[in-house]
Amino acid sequence: MGGGASRLVDVLVSRGWDDLTVLDISEPALAHAKARLGNRADRVRWIVADLTEWHPDRAYDVWHDRAVFQFLTEPDQRTAYLGALNQALRPGGLAILATFAPDGPEKCSGLPVRRYDAAGLSAQLGAEFRLLRTFREVHQTPGGVAQPFAWCVLERSADKAG
Ligand SMILES: C[S@@+](CC[C@H](N)C(=O)[O-])C[C@H]1O[C@@H](n2cnc3c(N)ncnc32)[C@H](O)[C@@H]1O
């Protein structure tokens, strides 16, 4: 989710994963990733959409978001995001999320962000999700700026009742 031009999809394709979807609001970012993958881009479903307005047409095993949820500064945006997540992720599926940590930058790409620690990020997903793992990563941007991230891995209850 919000994969943009990131190389995660390249790694997953090269490791043999074959049911991959990359969604991003930016068509140019996805075009960049597709061009980089060349004919391997056909192994991926590419969706240009605003995540807060997206209605998934199928269920997924894993939801991965690095540095998108943090842009949702308004409660209704976060509600819409969580609605999409809950529609898209099958019961028993995994949600992997990362945002800037509390000591991370206050802005990303010039836009304000909400920063979370792992407990706060995990709490956003609600009681239906069980926190499996958290970790902190200090990402170095190509420009040499340190960006501390809080990561969470959560499992959605396999039981619809939670
Ligand atoms: C900071 S970049 C992170 C890109 C990638 N996930 C990574 O970690 O390298 C944020 C990405 O989220 C996308 N994005 C921001 N708001 C979005 C939204 N509402 N719906 C879908 N994508 C969004 C941007 O276009 C951009 O590609």
Distance CA 162, CA 156 (A): 8
On the question of pLDDT at 3 being above 60, the answer is yes
Question: How many Å lie between the centroid of ligand 1 and the Cα of residue 81?
Answer: 13
Structure confidence at residue 152 (pLDDT): 98
Structure confidence at residue 134 (pLDDT): 98
CB atoms within 10 A of CB 10: 15
Residue 66: closest CA among 28, 32, 104:
104
Distance CA 154, CA 120 (A): 13
63: left (phi over 0), alpha (psi -120 to 50) or beta: beta
Question: Going by CA atoms, what residue is nearest to atom 12 of ligand 1?
Answer: 2
On the question of pLDDT at 56 being above 70, the answer is yes
Distance CA 22, CA 2 (A): 7
Amino acid in the structure at residue 59: A
Question: Going by CA atoms, what residue is nearest to atom 5 of ligand 1?
Answer: 3
Q: Is the sign of the CA dihedral 103, 138, 70, 150 positive or negative?
A: negative
pLDDT band at 161 (very low <50, low <70, confident <90, very high): low
- Whether residue 51 has its Cβ less than 6 Å from ligand 1: yes
- Considering only 24-28, 41-45, 107-111, which range has the smallest mean pLDDT? 107-111
- Whether residue 72 has its Cβ less than 6 Å from ligand 1: no
Q: Judge contact between 81 and 52, C-beta under 8 A.
A: yes
- Whether residue 46 has its Cβ less than 6 Å from ligand 1: no
- Whether residue 67 has its Cβ less than 6 Å from ligand 1: yes
Distance CA 71, CA 100 (A): 10
Question: How many Å lie between the centroid of ligand 1 and the Cα of residue 24?
Answer: 6
Walk me through the domains of the chain, giving residue ranges and CATH numbers.
1-49 (no CATH), 57-162 (3.40.50.150)
Residue 51: closest CA among 39, 35, 76, 68:
68
Structure confidence at residue 42 (pLDDT): 97
Q: Which residue has the tokens 């690095």?
A: 66
Structure confidence at residue 142 (pLDDT): 87
Q: For ligand 1, pick from 6, 10, 25 the residue to mutate: most ligand atoms within 8 Å of CB.
A: 25
